[in-house]
Amino acid sequence: MASFIKARDVSLVFKSKDRQPVTALSNFSLDIAHGEFVSIVGPSGCGKSSFLNILLGLIRPGNGEIHLNGTRITGPGQERAMVFQEFGLLPWRTVTANVELGLELKGIAPAQRAERATELIKLVGLTGFESHYPHELSGGMKQRVGLARALATEPEVLLMDEPFAALDAQTRDLMQMELLQIWERTKKTVLFVTHSIEEAAYLSDRVIVMTARPGRTKDILKIDLPRPRDYEMRLTPEFNDLKLHIWEVLKEELTSRG
Amino acid sequence: MKLKNFYTEHESFILGTGFIVFLLILWESIPLWYTLPKGMALFFTTPSDIAAAFHRLLLNGELEKHFYVSAIAFLAGLGLSIVVGLPLGLVMGRSATLDALLDPYVTASNATPRIVFLPLLILWFGIGIWSKIAIVFVGAVFPLLINTYVGVKNVNQVLVNVVRSFGASEWQLMKIVVLPNSVPYIIAGLRLAIGRAILGVVVGEFFGSSQGLGYMIASAATNYKVDVVFVGVAIFMALSVILTLAVKQLESRLASWRPETAKTF
Amino acid sequence: MAAREYFTEHRRLWLGLCSFFFLVAAWELVLTYIVPVNPFFFTKPSLIADAFKEQIQSAKLWHDLAVSSQAFLWGFSFAVIVGIPVGLVMGWRRRVEYSLDPFLTALYASPLVALAPLFIIVFGVGVLGKAALVFLLAVFPFVFNAFAGVKSTDSLLINVIRSFGGREKDLYLKVILPSTMPYIIAGARLAIGRGLVGIIVGEFYAASEGIGFAILQAGDTYRLPDMFVGIIILSLIAVGLTELMRKLELMVAPWRASDEAR
């Protein structure tokens, strides 16, 4: 497998509030192929979100390095974009202006920005809400804006940090289906962090289960279910077997923490 | 029936203005049912006397002259405090080192009633416009500085990460996230600052001036011209209320993206 | 190594202290060696320190402080006694709120200190005039904060108490009072600042004793070190009282994380 993203021995230590050093990640390695959809599940505090932030270039790891397409990551770059759990929309900007944010920082001309934003707002199904402010949108709509903003700069890698965790169950199911459709159309490489085993199994080509802190790879599971996947697939015995398997691997980590 | 509906719909307005009108009528009618002793009568005036005094001072141009002097000191002092307070608040909010270095002075000066510096400022700047500008500045700069600082500090870290993840520079971060986030705080600070600035003008003119509305009040009081005192007080009151409402207007316009009105403190 | 860690942990405190001592030292050195000090116009830390030592040993300073405190306490107490009930009633009774709100808001927004000359002339230069001024300035924060406290009481909590069969008395004691107290103390903090303004302006305007008068007199006679001592003492009192209120706020409402940065 030719790895598009290659992480080697990434470690991260930070100081907790009571100033004790906490090892969030310890020698974490990972390979992801181009166009692959990979999920990371693991106990709370296992450093999976920290890993995303390192990959995004916001945090520098204490040790180890990550290469993207052969180039070492040292800071933020336009070939990567993140969808945040808390949406991270600028409350004083309209939907359009929020989607344009990355393009604006890239120095794209306003006319082109607007054109691209319109296109993406359509892609995520928000046409008609262009001049709304975030506080006028529902949670699901906010995250559509977050997704459109991340896609606007045409990144090759889409990082998703528990993007649907703040949504209600039905909206969540709907957003998962739409994410799959968009992924199949755009063929981005996606790294998806979640707490939900079902979500990970449903969306991904591979699921990485992490150990409790300090986070390491515990197991990697291939999800060999046919695509395109629909909601009904989640009711099949094969899917439930997979879920059970992931759960059993994860359970050891959850109980070992006491 | 209709009248009742009208009342319920406008109850707060009717009761609010009604109470003020009631107080004014009560005040006006005191001499009708109570004969004041000689000593008290000297200090007493009625709304109609005050209105007459206002009319007189307006016609002879005295009011305009004093108003002009006060307005200049107010605007210059407040303008200076904005020019100094905002950037300093921004910088202190973003730099932990500068914050730690300057914090003792800001905290101590903010807790001290700034009026206490007036004799010192009069000594340094003399009687006249400069000591007034200085006392207005000293009064108004801290609410602006501190509110800007709090606005910068309260910026949502997720938004900072979002903008950073797109490769923004510190300057772009300031422009796109930090500054817009501080706007409601700055406006709340401005409202406080206006109050402090007016206080500075009043007290500055009591002691360090021979012109201006504050001086007019102080000299009228020494001459027992109580109606003139109240003309001055009423003008300051009207100005404060108008400016406060104007800032509130600005607040709601600039913060149209907010679900509820900005927190004020 | 340990020292280094200690420094990083208390970096803020150390930087603040360093900044203060550096400023004082620079002030002293510049005026001693570079620019000769004009004693009618400026002074330096060593002279202020001398004046400070002298003043705290003299009876006059304590007398001045006692005079000012007396007026302050009278005015402040009346502000508490009048302001809190008015605010509570405004919060409980909608019609009272509607009637009083515009009037009191206009007064609160106004520089009522403008009435100082009139107050001093009517009530005299003694305790009464100053106390009246302190009352006038300090009463509004109590009114509006008690009002805001009642208004901000969570209606869910009221329903909870009612659902457990609580009576009117329980509502006041168990919900409204605890949630209003922090507001009132925050109001007290504002009121202290405004009350001090009242004392100072009153004593600047007309007085023959008191800390404000002492500062003014020192200025009039070009005794700059004494003037700085007065300012510093007033500043210490103001900071002390403000801190006291902050502590009190935490004591009364430990469940409220201090949401204000300072």
Give C4-40 pLDDT, tens digit per residue. Answer: 667 667 788 888 899 999 999 998 888 888 887 777 7
Band of residue B261 on the pLDDT scale cut at 50, 70, 90: very low
Per-residue model confidence (pLDDT) at position A152: 93
Per-residue model confidence (pLDDT) at position C258: 46
Give C181-239 pLDDT, tens digit per residue. Answer: 989 999 999 999 999 999 999 999 888 899 999 999 998 888 999 999 999 999 999 99
CB-CB neighbors (< 8 A) of C117 in chain B? 206, 217-218, 220-222, 229
Which token pair is C200?
Answer: 């100072």
Band of residue C69 on the pLDDT scale cut at 50, 70, 90: very high
Cis peptide before A214 (omega within 30 of 0): yes
Per-residue model confidence (pLDDT) at position C40: 79
CB C44 within 8 A of CB C26: no
Distance CA C78, CA C128 (A): 12
Asked which of A248-257, B7-16, C95-104, C208-217 is least confident by mean pLDDT, the reply is A248-257
- CA-based Rg of chain A, rounded to a whole angstrom? 18
CB C143 within 8 A of CB C86: yes
Type of residue at C80: V
CA C56 to each of CA C53, C61, C66, C67, C230: distance values in angstroms, whole numbers, following the listed order: 6, 7, 13, 16, 11
Name all chains with 3 or more CB-CB pairs below 8 Å to chain A.
Answer: B
Type of residue at A142: K
Is A78 in the B-facing interface, judged by CB distances under 8 Å?
A: yes
Which token pair is C146?
Answer: 């008690």
State whether B165 and A82 contact (CB < 8 Å): yes
Name all chains with 3 or more CB-CB pairs below 8 Å to chain C.
Answer: B
Burial of A231 (0-12, 13-18, 19+ CB in 10 A): exposed
Q: Nearest residue on chain B to C230, judged by CA atoms? A: B116
CA atoms within 13 A on the CB side of B149: 24
E strand or H helix that includes residue B2:
helix B2-9
List of residues 6+ apart from C48 with CB closer than 8 A: C225, C228, C229, C232
Domains of chain B: 1-44 (no CATH), 56-263 (1.10.3720.10)
Asked which of A35-39, C120-124, C167-171, C189-193 is least confident by mean pLDDT, the reply is C167-171
Residue of B165, B257, B258, B263 to mutate when probing chain A, most A C-beta within 10 A:
B165
Distance CA A181, CA A183 (A): 5
Displacement of CA A9 from its chain's centroid (Å): 21
CB B11: neighbour CB atoms within 10 A? 14
Q: Measuring CA to CA, which residue among C27, C34, C134, C32 is closest to residue C80? A: C134
Give A94-123 pLDDT, tens digit per residue. Answer: 999 999 999 999 889 999 999 999 999 999
CB A25 within 8 A of CB A215: yes
Give A42-72 pLDDT, tens digit per residue. Answer: 888 788 889 999 999 998 898 899 999 989 9
Distance CA B107, CA B116 (A): 16
Q: Nearest residue on chain A to B254, judged by CA atoms? A: A92
CB-CB neighbors (< 8 A) of C114 in chain B? 202, 214, 217, 232-233, 236
State whether A101 and B162 contact (CB < 8 Å): yes
CB A96 within 8 A of CB A121: yes
Residue of B156, B160, B162 to mutate when probing chain A, most A C-beta within 10 A:
B162
CB-CB neighbors (< 8 A) of B183 in chain A? 92
Distance CA C109, CA B247 (A): 12
Type of residue at B35: T
Q: Which member of B117, B154, B236 has the closest CB to residue C110?
A: B236
Q: Nearest residue on chain C to B22, judged by CA atoms? A: C99
Type of residue at C149: G
Distance CA C132, CA C86 (A): 18
Is A102 in the B-facing interface, judged by CB distances under 8 Å?
A: yes
The residues in C 132-191 lying below 8 A from B, measured between CB atoms, are none
Per-residue model confidence (pLDDT) at position C66: 94
Residues facing residue A40 across a β-bridge: A193, A208
Q: Nearest residue on chain B to C14, judged by CA atoms? A: B100
List of residues 6+ apart from B106 with CB closer than 8 A: B92, B142, B145, B146
pLDDT above 70 for C257: no
Q: Rounded mean pLDDT of C129-138?
A: 94
Burial of C155 (0-12, 13-18, 19+ CB in 10 A): exposed
Per-residue model confidence (pLDDT) at position C3: 65
Asked which of A11-25, A217-231, C62-76 is least confident by mean pLDDT, the reply is A11-25
pLDDT above 80 for A19: no
Residue A30 main-chain phi, psi, to 5 deg: -165, 140
Q: Measure C164 CA to nearest chain B CA, in Å.
A: 32
Q: Rounded mean pLDDT of B208-225?
A: 90
Q: Rounded mean pLDDT of B242-248?
A: 92
Put the strands of the sheet holding A206-210 in their side by side order: A80-83, A157-161, A189-193, A37-41, A206-210, A217-222
Give A129-144 pLDDT, tens digit per residue. Answer: 999 999 999 999 999 9
Per-residue model confidence (pLDDT) at position C10: 78
Q: Measure A247 CA to nearest chain B CA, in Å.
A: 31
Burial of A98 (0-12, 13-18, 19+ CB in 10 A): buried
Q: Nearest residue on chain A to B181, judged by CA atoms? A: A92
Q: Measure C217 CA to nearest chain B CA, in Å.
A: 9
pLDDT above 90 for A145: yes
State whether A91 and B258 contact (CB < 8 Å): yes
Q: How far apart are the first and last CA of chain B?
A: 42
Is B172 in the A-facing interface, judged by CB distances under 8 Å?
A: yes
Q: Rounded mean pLDDT of C155-176?
A: 81
Helices (H), ranges, A61-211 = 95-99, 101-106, 110-123, 139-152, 169-186, 197-203
pLDDT above 90 for B255: no
Q: What is the mean pLDDT of chain B?
A: 89
- Most confident range, picked from B77-86, B118-127, C90-99: B77-86
Is C118 in the B-facing interface, judged by CB distances under 8 Å?
A: yes
CB A234 within 8 A of CB A225: no
E strand or H helix that includes residue A62:
none
For B242-250, the CB contacts below 8 A with 24+ separation are: B243/B194, B243/B198, B244/B191, B244/B194, B244/B195, B244/C109, B247/B187, B247/B190, B247/B191, B247/B194, B248/B191, B250/B187
Residues facing residue A14 across a β-bridge: A22
Q: Which member of B165, B177, B257 has the closest CB to residue A56?
A: B165
Band of residue B3 on the pLDDT scale cut at 50, 70, 90: confident
Q: Is A77 left (phi over 0), alpha (psi -120 to 50) or beta?
A: beta
Residue of B156, B166, B182, B254 to mutate when probing chain A, most A C-beta within 10 A:
B166
* CA triple A116-A118-A123, angle to 5 deg: 95
Q: Measure C166 CA to nearest chain B CA, in Å.
A: 31
CA B119 to each of CA B73, C13, C230: distance values in angstroms, whole numbers, following the listed order: 17, 32, 11
Is C124 in the B-facing interface, judged by CB distances under 8 Å?
A: no
Q: Which member of A77, A80, A133 has the closest CB to residue B257?
A: A133
CATH 3.90.70.10 fits C44-260, yes or no: no
Q: Rounded mean pLDDT of B145-159?
A: 92
State whether B161 and A84 contact (CB < 8 Å): yes
Give B130-140 pLDDT, tens digit per residue. Answer: 999 999 999 99
Give B29-83 pLDDT, tens digit per residue. Answer: 988 888 878 777 788 899 999 999 999 999 999 999 999 999 999 999 999 999 9
Is C229 in the B-facing interface, judged by CB distances under 8 Å?
A: no
Q: Is A40 helix (H, G, I), strand (E, B) or coil?
A: strand
Distance CA A247, CA A200 (A): 11
Q: Which member of C19, C102, C197 has the closest CB to residue B16?
A: C102
CA A207 to each of CA A82, A243, C121, C200: distance values in angstroms, whole numbers, following the listed order: 19, 11, 83, 71
pLDDT above 80 for A2: no
- Please report, for chain C, the start and end positions of each structural domain, with discontinuous segments joined by +: 1-37, 44-260
